[in-house]
Structure 1
Amino acid sequence: MGDSITFGQYLDATSRWTSLVEEQLRSQFTEAIEVRSFNRGISGETTRMGLERFPRDVQEIFPDVMTLQFGLNDCNCWQTDGGLPRVSLGSFRANLVEMIDRARRFGARKIVLATNHRTLRRDTLVSGEVYECANGRYNHIIREVAETVGVDLCDIEAAFAHFDDEELAELLLPAPDLLHLSEAGNRVYFTAIWPHVERAVEASIQVVAT
């Protein structure tokens, strides 16, 4: 569940980190469980929009495990909003918590909540804040939510932290905004999130077995 980073914007479906996760799930767990994977990422969406479609996109399928990734659109500011973020920090926190609560109510035994990667967007928003600084503030909220509600945190921001700008440029698509992940960036994302998904699935299998 997420935005364009979960969807895999501008890439062939097989190159997306979600597809790499699904491929690894089928390779590793097919003998133990029936693997069914759903990509519920939609480009341009915020947590507010994700929450609105949550009943249809998540609750109806009763997932055992869910990954949750939002924030890159929430922290952005549009001219038409007069410098306000698309979703305030308080609403962002509340929306994440509600999606987690709803996922648990509808069967999710394990949830992996991800921060967002560094970008090369150094432009100043209408609010006067640099985009990447806003991204960092929303990542801080994600970490707080993970700790507060007791879900597994996959710190994608930390996974990308050691890359310098030249290296990071190879992990991002140059157009349209130095934000979306390239094929190489999706592989880094997969490498970071797979151990969390693997543990979540293993724990879910153990619960069913008992």
Structure 2
Amino acid sequence: MPTLVCFGDSNTADSYDANGTPRLTPRIADSLNGWKVINAGISGETTRDALARIKKDVADYYPSLVTVLFGSNDSARNRDVSLEEYEKNLRLIVEQLSPEKTILISPPPVVEAAQINNRDNATLAKYAQIVQKVARETGSHFIDLFTEMKDLPDYSELLVEDGLHISEQGYVFLSHIITAKIKSIQEVN
């Protein structure tokens, strides 16, 4: 049975919200018949934290594919993960997983009015560009979530009130994008 590990921060963490509504991994599992889908998201984490747990939480499952969604916390003003360190950390993650198994996902945009003094889209765009660069240079798969959301008429509908975390509608959107990417990878292989 092929295995997908969804590795990330709070936008990946927790399979269900407090009301029992499915978040990311159950939605992907429903769309990928025959796949085992493992949630390896932890709220508040950066790529620095990810490197400390990648073996136990990801590699030890011998995944067929891994989604990697970090950057919202790396880019936060109080977290101090520079663009250079973020790029280095992403490259180390890809190296440990192998490019053909890695689906790098750029961080989503935020609603800036709700994220005053924490995050802004100009900075997040730079982190998103790093994800694209690492994917291109390593040969990893890539989903440009930042641009996909920014191109919508009102991407704020895909985020909850805090302007940072993905909403139920956002999880529907993201799970469709990830599922489509995985199906396109399967077609090539």
TM-score higher than 0.5 here?
yes
For 2:54, the equivalent position in structure 1 comes to 54
Q: 1:5 aligns with which of 3, 11, 15?
A: 11
Q: Percent identity?
A: 29
Higher helix share: 1
**CA 1:201–1:16 in 2, change beyond 3 Å: closer, same or farther?**
farther
* C-alpha separation in 2, matches of 1:173 and 1:9: 16
**CA 1:13–1:189 in 2, change beyond 3 Å: closer, same or farther?**
farther
SS of the equivalent of 1:37 reads strand
Deviation at 1:15, TM superposition (A): 2.3
Cα-to-partner distance string for 1:32-57 (whole Å, 9 max, x where unaligned): xxx22211111110000001011111
Give the total of aligned pairs.
181
Residues 116 and 157, structure 1, Cα contact 8 Å, conserved in 2 = yes
* C-alpha separation in 1, matches of 2:83 and 2:155: 27
Q: Which amino acid aligns with 1:125?
A: N
Cα-to-partner distance string for 1:64-109 (whole Å, 9 max, x where unaligned): 111111100000012xxxxxx52111110011111111012xxx74
For 1:188, the equivalent position in structure 2 comes to 173
Q: 2:28 aligns with which of 10, 18, 21?
A: 21
Residues 159 and 192, structure 1, Cα contact 8 Å, conserved in 2 = no
In structure 2, stretches of 5+ residues that fail to align are 1-6
* C-alpha separation in 2, matches of 1:185 and 1:132: 17
SS of the equivalent of 1:160 reads helix
Q: 1:112 aligns with which of 103, 108, 113?
A: 103
Normalising by structure 2, report the TM-score. Answer: 0.86
Q: 1:125 aligns with which of 103, 111, 117?
A: 117
Residues 21 and 190, structure 1, Cα contact 8 Å, conserved in 2 = yes
Larger Rg: 1
SS of the equivalent of 1:77 reads coil
Normalising by structure 1, report the TM-score. Answer: 0.78
Q: Which amino acid aligns with 1:152?
A: H
Higher strand share: 2
SS of the equivalent of 1:66 reads strand
**CA 1:6–1:94 in 2, change beyond 3 Å: closer, same or farther?**
same
Q: Which amino acid aligns with 1:99?
A: I
Deviation at 1:113, TM superposition (A): 0.8
For 1:77, the equivalent position in structure 2 comes to 77
* C-alpha separation in 1, matches of 2:46 and 2:15: 15
Deviation at 1:162, TM superposition (A): 2.4
